Amino acid sequence: MRKFWTYVVLVILVLFVLGPFLWMLSTSLKTQGEVLSSVPHLFPTHWEFSNYVKAWQSAPFGMYFGNSILVSGVETIADLTLGAMAAYAFARMEFYGKQVIFVILLATMMVPGEVLLIPNYITLAQFHWLDSYQGLIVPWLVSVFTIFLMRQFFLGIPREIFEAAELDGCGPMRTLFRIVMPISKPIWVTSALIKFVGAWNSFLWVLIVSRTPHYFTLPVGLINFSTDIGTIYNQLMAAATFTMVPLIILFLFGQRYFIEGIARSGIK
Amino acid sequence: MSFRLRRSLTAYLMLLPTLAITGVFVIYPVVDSFVISFFKWDMLSNVRPFVGLQNYRHIFADPLFQRALLNTVLYVVTFVPIVLLLGLLCAVLLNQKVKFLAAFRAAFFIPYVTSLAASGIVWQWIFNDQFGLLNYLLKQVGIQPQNWLQNPHWTLFNLDVMGVWQNLGYVAVIFLAGLQNISREYYEAADVDGARPFQKFRHITVPLLSPTTYFLLILTTIEAFKIFLQIYVLYGASAGPNNSGLTLLYYMFNEGFSDYRMGYACAAAYVLFIIIFIFTLVQMAFSRRVHYES
């Protein structure tokens, strides 16, 4: 009996969480007439798939999509590569000032990025990087969180593996990319997922850096589209759907890595 | 060159990209922001007179800033308790050996990985006064339809609903990890003593979960202080009716990027930064003490 109530409450909470998504899908498939009817149905009486085509064509969504993939992809690959290099240095190498540098990097994690928007905007203006891919991407090429996650993982790898690699004449870079990275798959998949999701959903930075739609990513393009078309809700919901669906699919495939990575950040 | 120095040099080279980017885009702006907050500057002109604390005095006297501070604090003190209680409820339920645990967990987590721009547009449609789902559902149970987005009294409610919806899964997942860390032996010992479910929750779960609760309390508080995007999206690039959705970050955004008053904007940013910094320090000071298990 107690089990029964557990499920009842869980289902109510799931309906609250997934309800907006169902409502979005439902609206995205309705005719404008049905959208504005006084009695809403969950299932459209006439399935209007053309809303997706119309929405896709009423704004340069193909371009936004390309920008999103480019920006998130480059940031993720750079974050993994540069983050692994830094993590390796901290985990396995001795150098002067190691502790101090590590503590300073950790301290930067406490700085909320939003607070730095104004000076960073000024820096970009001085670099002439406003409205450019460099401006969108370069400030986000590394994240201390990734370095921290990877360093923890590298510290747990048996010392003998590194010693064997060095006996074979491998330098640090070769050891890292030939030997350490292949056996560290769980941690870089986790880091990559967290980074990619963050980059894809990034909004405020893209809003400030891009002046012309040419450099909009999907979220900013979507908001721009919504200001333009106003209340044509079926097309708006179609556009919202194709903005979020790639990430939801990515999340569902990688959820084990993603959720465990997040949960680990909480326990430390 | 000695071996040790050569190893050091390789390490520095491997760290160079990280240090360069963090230096230019995190460490330098922390200082620069502070400096700008003491100048009067519109970004375009070459003159940049030093004004001392005048920017800080100005914003604290500005009714809009006071409004923003109040709105932000109201959001924090409503959102944080609600999301923590509901998240704990989810986690406790999910910890009852339920079937489809992975599916439930994933479902709760989806809003957290969804772009706020996209979900904001969906919520705008749900809150629509004429054809929105919320008013329709209320009408079914005999409640008058409301002007959710036009009436300033509902702004805090709307933002709380959206915030809880988005963060519930995150809070639940971390609570769940905390619950699973509690050793079964405590509960078995309590069972031997004939403890009732609520007694076990009160005297075993709550104290042993406190490091997790504490971590989440600070983290969600910090996140809540930075609220901006929900408002921007829900109210179509405005701060809501009558500035009812004007928050600290929104104030900084308006001063900086609409009016180009960089001094005021940086002063506001630093006020927000200091608030967040205090919470971070409190967390660091206490996280060493609030530990029951290693």
- H-helix segments, chain A: 2-28, 32-35, 50-58, 61-92, 98-108, 117-127, 133-137, 144-155, 159-167, 172-174, 181-183, 185-201, 204-209, 218-229, 233-267
Task: Determine, for residues B17 and A82 on separate chains, whether the beta-carbon distance falls below 8 Å.
Answer: yes
For tokens 């749900």, name the residue: B126
Query: Measured in whole angstroms, how far is the alpha carbon of residue B155 from the centre of its chain?
Result: 17
Q: How many CB atoms lie within 10 A of CB A200?
A: 24
For residue range A208-235, list pLDDT tens digits in order.
999 899 999 999 999 999 988 887 899 9
* E strand intervals along chain B: none
- In a mutational test of the A interface, the residue from B3, B13, B26, B231 whose CB has the highest number of chain A CBs within 10 Å is B26
Give the domain ranges of chain A: 1-48, 59-267
pLDDT of residue B288: 64
Chain B contact for A71 (CB, 8 A cutoff): no
Q: Which residues of chain B have pLDDT under 70?
A: 1, 287-294
Query: Coil, helix or strand for B39?
Result: strand
- In a mutational test of the A interface, the residue from B114, B168, B223 whose CB has the highest number of chain A CBs within 10 Å is B114
Task: Determine, for residues A119 and B266 on separate chains, whether the beta-carbon distance falls below 8 Å.
Answer: yes
* Cβ–Cβ under 8 Å, residues B10 and A172: yes
Chain B contact for A107 (CB, 8 A cutoff): no
Distance from A182 to chain B by nearest Cα, in Å?
19
Of B114, B128, B236, the CB nearest to A248: B114
Chain A contact for B270 (CB, 8 A cutoff): yes
pTM above 0.90, yes or no: yes
Query: Coil, helix or strand for B145?
Result: coil
Euclidean distance between CA atoms A209 and A124, whole angstroms:
8
Q: Which residues contact A148 (CB under 8 A, 6 or more apart)?
A: A87, A106, A109
The amino acid sitting at B171 is: V
Using a CB-CB distance cutoff of 8 angstroms, which residues of chain A are in contact with residue B55?
A: none
pLDDT of residue B283: 79
Q: Tokens representing A227? A: 């200001």
Task: Determine, for residues B18 and A85 on separate chains, whether the beta-carbon distance falls below 8 Å.
Answer: yes
pLDDT of residue B290: 55
Query: Domain A59-267 - what CATH class?
Result: mainly alpha
Euclidean distance between CA atoms B39 and A215, whole angstroms:
32
pLDDT of residue B292: 46
End-to-end Cα, chain A, rounded Å: 37
Complex ipTM: 0.92
pLDDT of residue B143: 92
- The CATH code of the domain at B60-287 is 1.10.3720.10
The chain A residue lying nearest B217, using CA atoms, is A266
Chain B contact for A138 (CB, 8 A cutoff): yes
Distance from B99 to chain A by nearest Cα, in Å?
9
Q: Which residues of chain A have pLDDT under 50?
A: 267-268
Distance from A231 to chain B by nearest Cα, in Å?
9
Using a CB-CB distance cutoff of 8 angstroms, which residues of chain A are in contact with residue B26?
A: 108, 111, 113, 116
Using a CB-CB distance cutoff of 8 angstroms, which residues of chain B are in contact with residue A112?
A: 222, 226, 272-273, 276
Selected residues 174-203 of chain B with any CB under 8 Å from a CB in chain A: 174, 176-178, 181
